[in-house]
Structure 1
Amino acid sequence: MTVITSHGIEGLADAMTVMVSAFDPQFGEAWTAAQCTGVLAMPGAHLLIARNAAPVGFALLRTVIDEAELMLLAVAPEARGQGIGRALLQHSIDTATTSNATSYFLEVRSDNPAIDFYERFGLRQVGVRRDYYRAGNGVRRDALTYRLSLR
């Protein structure tokens, strides 16, 4: 059974355990511990950790005034297909709603298979950042901005 709990900086080691296995290094999307620490030090930051016996996923989000942004969401490869990503996304949306956010945003690489997943949750594309991501081989990919109204 997967349990999701909310953490601050004390959950960073668990998130980093998932981070190293969940993000393909060719895309350069994984964050460093220092980057995560910087976000977690900001007001309105939330780190959600999904655990079975060990950490299997995490979501990092931040709410500022009435807007929430999902900065990272990852599930360990061996735990995929079990509904953990869905539970983390729903929990992050619930957290944003509880924090009085009226809009929920995220950015995703234009060729990321998770796009269908986000769209099934009702998120809709509202923007494009051209050539935002640079792969290890130098290939650039667009970042797509998605929004969900929480009203």
Structure 2
Amino acid sequence: MKSVPELVEGGAVDLPAVMAVMNESFDPRYGERWTFAQCAGLLPMPGVWLTLARVGDAVCGFALARIVADEAELLLLAVRKDAQRHGIGRRLLDAFLSGARSRGAEHFHLEVRDGNPAIHLYESAGFTLAGRRRDYYSGDAGRTFDALTLAKFEPPRR
């Protein structure tokens, strides 16, 4: 990656680019990928925000999140394959945490497929295992995969 991506707020107009990143980043054999309709239906809901990592007009990553009361959830985080291992995922994760804190979050959580390499990223940011959902993801050929629920708590700063 030659240029450092800027992080910008995204919206419904960016969904085709988000879907392109998602389709490249999530291997269909694991069943983690969301549909356009799922993303489009969620974006206008209160407390939902989309952060894009962009180089020029090209989206190379995104994070989709929501907050309810003091609980924030990272719903999706993806980085294009050719942009991975350049710190973009970390920047998007940090932007999620910062954006959630500014919206009043103290509790943060996410679900990730057991075995997904991103688990290391989340653990390095202070997330810990809070639970497991057996057979949560339905992948190719009828295979299922567990989801791990990871959580982080930050009491308000005084």
TM-score normalised to structure 1 length: 0.96
C-alpha contact (below 8 Å) 2:128/2:151 kept by paired residues: yes
Please tell me the root mean square deviation across aligned C-alpha atoms, in Å: 1.0
Please show how residues 1-151 of structure 1 align to structure 2 within 5 Å: 1-53=4-56, 54-151=58-155
5+ unaligned residues in a row in structure 2: which ranges? none
Structure 1 runs, 4 residues or longer, greater than 2 Å off: none
C-alpha contact (below 8 Å) 1:11/1:47 kept by paired residues: no
C-alpha contact (below 8 Å) 1:18/1:55 kept by paired residues: yes
Q: Identity over the aligned pairs, expressed in percent?
A: 46
C-alpha contact (below 8 Å) 2:30/2:145 kept by paired residues: no
What is the CA–CA distance in structure 1 between the aligned matches of 2:66 and 2:9, rounded to whole Å?
Answer: 12
Give the number of aligned pairs: 151
**Match of 2:140, SS?**
coil
Report how far residue 64 of structure 1 moved.
0.7
C-alpha contact (below 8 Å) 2:114/2:146 kept by paired residues: yes
Counterpart AA for 1:69? E
C-alpha contact (below 8 Å) 1:61/1:71 kept by paired residues: yes
5+ unaligned residues in a row in structure 1: which ranges? none
